[in-house]
Amino acid sequence: MDELLPLVVQLTNPEQREGVLLELSKKRESFADLAPILWHTYGTVAALLQEIVSIYHLLSPPILTAHASNRVCNALALLQCVASHAETRSLFLSAHIPLYLYPFLNTSAKSRPFEYLRLTSLGVIGALVKMDDADVINFLLQTEIIPLCLRIMETGSELSKTVATFIVQKILLDEIGLSYVCATPERFYAVSTVLNNMIALLQQHPSVRLLKHVVRCYLRLSDNVRARVALKQCLPMSLRDDTFGASLNNDVTVKKWLSQLLAVVGAPEQQAPQGNQFTPPEDGS
């Protein structure tokens, strides 16, 4: 504590902030009480948000440097601590701090500074959903997190795709999240189309880690009756045959999930137009 408190206080000093951000981000696992101290120390969270908004102008046109990206990512690493801690998570959400990260998730530049920024921002959201907190899911569903994640799932690096898919998976595993995605054909097909495209890419560039999250998303979607009917038609054939057999030889969990999915979805029905397989509930919700 004698080491931590002076460092946290120094975050509010612009001249000392960069070095302190680096030091705290490196040592954050060593300080069990870092999150509440960060949150409750006067001016600290404002200083972290100042770091975030200070690079917005570098996003478009995309001129973000590696130095600027690293500095902001150190600030994001500290916010991830706050998002992960039981005492500060609800305060973090109440302040709508995740929204400050969405401009970073909305970027499409492929350069390393942008990729690092997106990945670290996803890590903050991932830390939130990892807690299996219904309040987190309720908050995220009121934002644009699903469209943002879907875009990264299609265009990001393998690691960014994996984290974005994990976030969508955790949203789907919540009952409210599953109901939200399956409430309209548009939402369901937005998610299933991206998953299908990912399966097509995984045939060319296999990744068991990424495939695991994709299969789990499909399996969870199949828990919804209307989604299950739609999946009977739109589930990729490469998941039905042995395309990924060699990749899954050493992963019993994914093989089990895939078997469960195929058992639930069954064989595709013939002469049934895909677009008509998913109907919204009668109340339109």
Whether residue 47 is contained in a domain is answered as yes
Q: Are residues 81 and 218 in the same domain?
A: no
What string of pLDDT tens digits covers the 285 residues of the chain?
678 999 999 999 999 999 999 999 998 988 889 999 999 999 999 999 999 999 999 999 999 999 999 999 999 999 999 999 999 999 999 999 999 999 999 999 999 999 999 999 999 999 999 999 999 999 999 999 999 999 999 999 999 999 999 999 999 999 999 999 999 999 999 999 999 999 999 999 999 999 999 999 999 999 999 999 999 999 999 999 989 988 888 899 999 999 999 999 987 765 444 444 666 554 444
Q: Are residues 3 and 136 in the same domain?
A: yes
Task: Give the max Cα distance, the chain.
Answer: 71
Nearest to 36 by CA among 87, 70, 73: 87
Q: Which residues contact 151 (CB under 8 A, 6 or more apart)?
A: 106, 108
Mean pLDDT taken over the chain: 93
Whether residue 156 is contained in a domain is answered as no
The amino acid at 136: V
Q: Which residues contact 123 (CB under 8 A, 6 or more apart)?
A: 76, 77, 80, 163
Structure tokens at 136: 């987190």
User: What is the Cα–Cα distance from 107 to 89, expressed in whole angstroms?
Assistant: 26
Q: What is the pLDDT of residue 284?
A: 44
Structure tokens at 283: 């109340």
Q: What is the pLDDT of residue 160?
A: 97
Whether residue 157 is contained in a domain is answered as no
User: What is the Cα–Cα distance from 217 to 110, expressed in whole angstroms?
Assistant: 26
Q: Are residues 139 and 190 in the same domain?
A: no
Whether residue 50 is contained in a domain is answered as yes
User: What is the Cα–Cα distance from 268 to 231, expressed in whole angstroms?
Assistant: 8
3-state secondary structure of 255: helix
Q: Are residues 108 and 215 in the same domain?
A: no
Q: The domain containing residue 22 runs over which residues?
A: 1-145
Domain boundary, last residue among 116, 145, 174: 145
Q: What is the pLDDT of residue 1?
A: 64
User: What is the Cα–Cα distance from 104 to 281, expressed in whole angstroms?
Assistant: 35
Q: Provide the CATH number for the domain around residue 283.
A: 1.25.10.10
Handedness of CA 206, 209, 210, 212 (dihedral sign): positive
Whether residue 226 is contained in a domain is answered as yes
Whether residue 124 is contained in a domain is answered as yes
Q: Are residues 102 and 213 in the same domain?
A: no
Whether residue 161 is contained in a domain is answered as no
Q: What is the pLDDT of residue 246?
A: 87
Q: Are residues 125 and 257 in the same domain?
A: no
The length of the chain is 285
Q: Are residues 78 and 202 in the same domain?
A: no
Q: What is the pLDDT of residue 271?
A: 42
Structure tokens at 44: 């600290």
Q: Are residues 132 and 186 in the same domain?
A: no
Nearest to 103 by CA among 60, 46, 165: 60
Q: Are residues 2 and 141 in the same domain?
A: yes
User: Structurally, how many domains does the chain consist of?
Assistant: 2
pLDDT in tens, 219-264: 999 999 999 999 999 999 999 998 998 888 889 999 999 999 999 9
User: What is the Cα–Cα distance from 222 to 260, expressed in whole angstroms?
Assistant: 10
Q: Are residues 225 and 89 in the same domain?
A: no
Q: Are residues 266 and 140 in the same domain?
A: no
Structure tokens at 69: 């990206």
Q: Are residues 186 and 236 in the same domain?
A: yes
Whether residue 158 is contained in a domain is answered as no
